[in-house]
Amino acid sequence: MAERRRVGIMGGTFDPIHMGHLILGESAWDEFHLEKVLFMPSGNPPHKVGRKGAANEQRTEMVRLAVEDNPHFELSLEEMYESGYIYTKKTLRRLRIANPDTDYYFIMGADSLLAFDTWNGPQEICDQCTLVAAVRDLMPMEELDREIARLRDKYHADIRKLHTPNLDISSHTIREWARCGRSIRYYVPEKVMDYILESGVYGEL
Ligand code: ATP
Ligand code: MG
C-alpha cells in the first residue's frame, strides 16, 4: 500500500505573518517529516470579529512574500473568502475529500490550544487531523503537557507537541511597533518588512 502523504496546515490571521509562524511551520515540517506546509490566511476568523488591520489582499500578499523562497512552504487560499465565518472543521472536510491520500497536521500555538474547546466542532477537527501544538507566552511546559493530555482524553485526539523554544513575538506587537516607527527587522522576513514600510499598512510612515 502506498504511504500516505503528510501535509501541515498553519492557519492564522497573519496580520502580519512573522518569524514565529514561519519557525513553527519549518519545525513541524522537520519534526513530523511533512511533505509541505500550507500557510492559510483566514478571510474572516470568527474569533476576531471587528478586527482592524490589514485588508485580506494585504495579509495574503505578506504571506506570499514570506513563503515564496521556501520550497516546502505554500500559500493556500483555501480559507480566503469573505462570506460567513471560516471554520477549520469545514476546511479539513473539503481538503480531505479533495485529497483522500493525505493526512493533515494542524499546527497551532499554545494560546490557540487553550481556546480549543471554544472552536466550532472540536470533536470533528480532532477526528480529521493530527494537532501539533507549540509552547507560547512563556507557558510552563507542564501546563502545555497537561492541556494536551486533557484534550487527548476528551476528544480521543492525536495531539503532538512541537519542540520549539518559546518565541516571544506576536502580530499585535509588530503592528504596534510599525505604527510607532520602532524597528521590526528580523521579527518578520525582510520582504515583509519592506512591504509594511512601503505600504504604510499599519499606520503613518
Ligand atoms: P495577534 O497578535 O494579532 O493575535 P498572532 O501573533 O497571535 O497575532 P495569529 O495569526 O493570531 O498570530 O496566529 C496564528 C497561529 O500561530 C495561532 O495558532 C497562534 O497560536 C500561532 N502563533 C503565532 N505566534 C506564535 C508564537 N510566537 N509562538 C507560537 N505560536 C504562535
Ligand atoms: Mg493570535
Name the residue with the closest Cα to ligand 1, atom 21.
109
pLDDT higher for 86 or 49? 86
The CA 3 to ligand 2 mean position distance, Å, reads: 34
Model confidence band, residue 205 (pLDDT cutoffs 50, 70, 90): low
Query: Which pLDDT score, from 0 to 100, does residue 45 have?
Result: 67
For 5-46, the pLDDT digits (tens) are: 999 999 999 999 999 999 999 999 999 999 999 999 998 766
What is the structure's pLDDT at 44?
A: 77
Residue 171 Cα to ligand 2 midpoint, Å, equals: 7
Distance 159 CA to ligand 1 centre (A): 18
* pLDDT in the model for residue 100: 97
Q: Name all residues whose Cβ lies below 6 A of ligand 1.
A: 12-15, 20-21, 24, 108-109, 111-112, 134, 136, 167, 169-172
Cβ–Cβ < 8 Å for 21, 14: yes
What DSSP string describes 134-192?
Answer: E--TT--HHHHHHHHHHHHHHH---EEE---------HHHHHHHHHTT---BTTB-HHH
pLDDT in tens, 78-134: 999 766 788 999 999 999 999 999 999 999 999 999 999 999 999 999 999 999 999
Q: Is the four-CA dihedral 178, 47, 133, 72 of positive or negative sign?
A: negative
How much distance in Å is there from the Cα of 21 to the middle of ligand 1? Answer: 7
Ligand 1 atom 25: residue of nearest CA: 20
**What's the chain's average pLDDT?**
94
Q: Helix, strand, or coil here: 103?
A: strand
What CA–CA distance (Å, rounded) separates 189 from 148?
A: 31
CA neighbours closer than 13 Å in the CB half-sphere of residue 145: 4
Residues 6+ apart with CB under 8 A from 4: 101, 102, 103
pLDDT at residue 86 in the model: 85
Other beta carbons within 10 Å of 179? 13
